[in-house]
Amino acid sequence: MFVTGLVLGADSSPHLGAAWQLQDHGGVPLLGAAVDSARACGFDQLVVTLGSAAAQIRECVDFSRVRVVESPHADTGSASIVPALDAVDRRADGLVVLAGDQPGVTSATVWSLVAESATLIGVCRYEDGESYPCWFSRELFGELRRLRTDADLWDLIRSGTHRVTKVDAIGNIPARAATWSTYHQPLGTSAVPQELPPDHPLPLPNHPRPRRRTPN
């Protein structure tokens, strides 16, 4: 089976006040950490979408062995999944979609999803709910092309049009960085600094230009 991984990194985050992709995650950009996690899964192909901050993000994140698809209109709600499908290898049997602000997803979770999905759609079911990664068989690529926003893929999942395999994943949903409070969860800190309001923009760190990995 040929499996493509798709990391969604094109949308903006007005709640953070800066490009969430470059927020610090243990000394590396958040999107970079998510891409590293996806790269470690060993997909046959890995695709990442970027939005209007693509040039800035490329300076800070290592995209070696990754096909980058720019979708500048994703900041205004357009689906970055749609142009990404044009980059998916013709041999792909399906697509595993991951969130670019969720680096805690493990290889074991991804491959359990792929192995156990007995229907055209598969979703990870954590102890506290359903979340990424999601599996979409090639037969659904045509329907994915009709999405208006990336978030609409959940409407497709929950529409009842197609049977969905819910694959059990260990633990709670890996934290995502959409607000100040959730941003701190992946870093392992327990609370937002008291001197800043919850909706205060995050400081944008200066990450050095990454060393490019040599392809194997």
More confident site: 129 or 197: 129
Rounded to two decimals, the pTM is: 0.82
Q: What is the architecture of the domain spanning 3-187?
A: Alpha-Beta Complex (3.90)
Strand stretches in the chain, DSSP E: 3-9, 24-25, 28-29, 45-50, 67-70, 94-99, 121-126, 129-137, 164-168
> For residue 30, is pLDDT > 60?
yes
Q: Minimum mean pLDDT among 47-61, 125-139, 192-206: which range?
A: 192-206
Chain mean pLDDT for the chain: 84
Domain parsing of the chain, residue ranges: 3-187
State the DSSP code for 83: H
- Banded model confidence at residue 203, pLDDT cuts 50, 70, 90: very low
Query: For 95, what's the count of Cα atoms within 13 Å in the CB-facing half-sphere?
Result: 26
Mean pLDDT of 135-142: 97
Quick one: pLDDT at residue 13? 62
Q: Residue 148 has what pLDDT?
A: 94
pLDDT at 212: 41
Average pLDDT (182-198) is: 40
Give one DSSP letter per residue of 89-111, joined into a string. -TT-SEEEEEETT-TT--HHHHH
Give the model's confidence band at 199: pLDDT under 50 very low, under 70 low, under 90 confident, else very high.
very low
More confident site: 17 or 109: 109
Higher pLDDT: 96 or 213? It is: 96
pLDDT at 206: 43
Higher-scoring residue by pLDDT: 192, 3: 3
